[in-house]
Amino acid sequence: MSPQEQLTAALARIPYAAFLGVRAELKGDELTLVLPYSDHLVGNPLLPALHGGVVAALMELTAITQLAIASKSERFPKTIDVGFDYLRSGKPVDTYARARVVKIGRRIANVQAEAWQGQRHEPIAAMHGHFLVGDEERMASGE
């Protein structure tokens, strides 16, 4: 399987990714997750605007998947903490997200992500977070 096919297969195994309707595009080792607009993603029907939680979920999924690629891990890393900054209201159009693995340590990785719509340089939200990539006990037992 090509890396793109592996990625598509990995995402297809996550029920919540299908619930959102997320799909992945891989260029080299850089991942873009695409969230096509759908009515069930709306948080404010009057504007209308995407639910902030959905945009957050897209960025966290991107971060986790990019980290799995960067650490060449079969398992998805566990989230320790994530912070989301909202910069613009999410319009009822397709949304994209990319993540940058800032550092992978023995146990913890630091990742940043951004989500945008029309313009890459006008992000609608940003994320930074820490993820567990290794386990002290498991490493000690040589697993």
Partner 1 sequence: MTEETHYGEGGDVFERVKTMMQWTPQGRALGLEVTKLEGNHVWGRVPYKAELVGDPETGVIAGGVITTFLDQLCGMATVLAMKEPAMVATIDIRIDYMRAAEPGRDVFAEAHCYKIGRNVAFVRAVAFEDSADNPIAHATSTFMVKATRKIGANLREKKT
Q: Which of 8, 23, 34, 48 binds partner 1 (CB under 8 A)?
A: 48
The residue from 4, 21, 29, 44 that contacts partner 1 (CB under 8 A) is 44
Minimum CB distance to partner 1, residue 123 (Å):
14
Residues in the chain: 143
Please state, in angstroms and rounded to a whole number, the distance separating the CA atoms of residues 24 and 97: 10
Going residue by residue from 62 to 101, which x/- string records binding to partner 1, judged by CB under 8 A? Answer: -------------xx-xxxxxxxxx--x-xx---------
Tokens for 100, please give them: 């940058």
d(CA 127, CA 75): 21
Distance of CA 15 to the CA centre of its chain: 15
35 binds partner 1 (CB under 8 A): no
Contact between 134 and partner 1 by CB under 8 A: the answer reads no
Interface with partner 1 includes 21 (CB under 8 A)?
A: no
Please report whether residue 124 would count as binding partner 1 according to CB under 8 A. Answer: no
**CA 123 to CA 19: how far, in whole Å?**
24
